[in-house]
């Protein structure tokens, strides 16, 4: 299961795990891993070798979820960026059912900004500002158009309004929708519509960007039903990508010119360099953008400076979490 980061993948995992025959883990396996080597239950339940606190917590959550289930017949993993390796993963795991969650860029873009503004205290990389969320979304859409069969789960309808999309997703997986704990879903997953005080709105330059790329039209395509397969949307999505092509390069240049993040170019350059093959479609669609061209010719010296700055941030995080010790011993 995948979707652009900050699109509600964690909530969808919790919803799927309310079914007694489904186990969906949360980033137990990296999207770059060889999934043909994975087996259940061993690779899912074995204690991770990493001493990382987050990995240990995930391991406890998986074992707790398994203990609550009578019979697990469908297993999966969530990693938001599976769209970068989707063809390879599906070749490694024949018969795989792909779930992708869609959330409006009007919500995802400011969510990225909030995480980036707090990157010193979190794992979020410096420079990963909201406009990059839309570029990731393009890659995701291109995979839906041309990649393996996938079910598109609408965030707004499926996590804010009704149980119908999760029932359709369960049926797509192959499990019995009637066995989903619908009462628990409606009580714990569907929100109480309490406004998050930390939620922020898109900046004016981001609103201008989203208007130029017709994000509202994309919302109508992706959120117009209780959930559909990607192949049924392929024609509309292909038309959408064609329509935004003339305006996209200029929109990118103007948007990043006004974003105010000095680290954005370095983050983008490292991302492109690390995923060049997977991003070929995006780079072709955005050809003519000076910003995107700059990402591709970013030099090693500036990349090295970025790595050093990131190490300093990690060191600062560690220092901020260490217990305070008195200079002359215990009080």
pLDDT for residue 115: 92
Q: Give SS3 for 101.
A: strand
pLDDT over 60 (residue 330): no
How many whole angstroms separate alpha carbon 202 and alpha carbon 87? 33
pLDDT digits (tens, 9 = 90+) for 195-236: 555 567 899 999 999 999 999 999 999 988 777 888 889 999
| C-beta separation of 102 from 152 below 8 A | yes
Q: What is the mean predicted confidence (pLDDT) over 84-105?
A: 95
Q: Which domains does the chain have, with CATH numbers?
A: 9-259 (3.40.50)
pLDDT, residue 303, reads 57
DSSP conformational letter for 323: P
pLDDT class for 243, splitting at 50, 70, 90?
very high
CA distances to 55, 259, 321 from 315, in Å: 20, 26, 10
Looking at residue 250, what is its pLDDT? Answer: 98
Q: 76 versus 322: which is more confidently predicted?
A: 76
**pLDDT top residue among 95 and 41:** 95
Please give the backbone phi and psi of residue 74, each rounded to the nearest 5 degrees, phi first.
Answer: -130, 120
Q: Does 246 score more than 90 pLDDT? A: yes
pLDDT in the model for residue 1 = 92
Q: In whole angstroms, how large is the CA radius of gyration of the chain?
A: 21
Give the count of beta carbons closer than 10 Å to the beta carbon of residue 21.
18
Contact 101, 145 (CB under 8 A): no
- How would residue 119 be classed by pLDDT, with cut points 50, 70 and 90? confident
The per-residue pLDDT for 159 is 93
pLDDT of residue 290: 96
Helix (H) or strand (E) holding 23: strand 22-26
pLDDT band at 320 (very low <50, low <70, confident <90, very high): very low
Question: In the prediction, which pLDDT does 102 show?
Answer: 97
Summary mean pLDDT of the chain: 86
The average pLDDT across 15-34 equals 92
For residue 44, the surrounding DSSP H or E stretch is helix 42-45
Query: What does the pLDDT read at residue 326?
Result: 30
Q: What is the mean pLDDT of residues 243-263?
A: 95
What distance in Å separates the CA atoms of residue 96 and residue 183, rounded to the nearest whole number?
Answer: 28
Question: Of 26-40, 95-109, 214-228, 311-325, which range is least confident?
Answer: 311-325
Q: Does residue 7 carry a pLDDT above 70?
A: yes
pLDDT exceeds 80 at position 120: no
Residue 269 banded pLDDT, cuts 50, 70, 90: very high
Range with the largest mean pLDDT of 36-45, 118-127, 134-143, 313-322: 134-143
Per-residue pLDDT band for 315 (boundaries 50, 70, 90) equals low
């Amino acid at each position: 299961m995948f979707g652009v980061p900050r699109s509600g993948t964690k909530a969808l995992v919790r919803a799927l795990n309310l079914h007694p025959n489904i186990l969906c883990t949360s980033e137990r396996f990296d999207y770059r891993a060889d999934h043909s080597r994975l087996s259940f239950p061993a690779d899912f339940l074995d204690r991770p070798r990493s001493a990382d606190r987050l990995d240990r917590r995930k391991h406890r959550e998986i074992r707790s979820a398994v203990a609550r289930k009578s019979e697990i017949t469908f297993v999966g993993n969530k990693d938001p960026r599976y769209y970068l390796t989707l063809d390879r993963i599906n070749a490694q795991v024949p018969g795989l059912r792909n779930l992708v969650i869609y959330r409006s860029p009007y919500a995802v873009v400011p969510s990225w900004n909030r995480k980036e503004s707090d990157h010193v205290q979190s794992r979020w990389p410096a420079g990963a500002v909201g406009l990059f969320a839309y570029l990731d979304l393009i890659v995701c859409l291109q995979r839906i158009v041309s990649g393996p069969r996938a079910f598109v789960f609408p965030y707004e309808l499926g996590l804010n309004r009704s149980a119908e999309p999760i029932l359709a997703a369960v049926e797509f997986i192959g499990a019995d929708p009637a066995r989903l704990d619908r009462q628990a879903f409606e009580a714990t997953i569907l929100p109480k519509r309490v406004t998050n005080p930390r939620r922020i709105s898109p900046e004016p330059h981001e609103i201008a960007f989203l208007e130029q790329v017709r994000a509202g039209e994309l919302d109508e395509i992706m959120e117009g039903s209780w959930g559909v397969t990607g192949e049924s949307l392929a024609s509309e999505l292909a038309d959408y990508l064609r329509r935004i092509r003339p305006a996209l390069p200029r929109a990118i240049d103007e948007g990043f010119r006004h974003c105010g993040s000095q680290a954005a170019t370095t983050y983008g350059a490292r991302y492109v360099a690390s995923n060049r093959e997977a991003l070929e479609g995006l780079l072709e669609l955005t050809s003519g953008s000076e910003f995107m061209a700059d990402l591709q010719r970013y030099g090693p010296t500036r990349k090295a400076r970025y790595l050093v700055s990131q190490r300093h941030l990690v060191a600062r995080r560690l220092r901020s979490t260490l217990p305070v010790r008195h200079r002359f011993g215990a009080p």
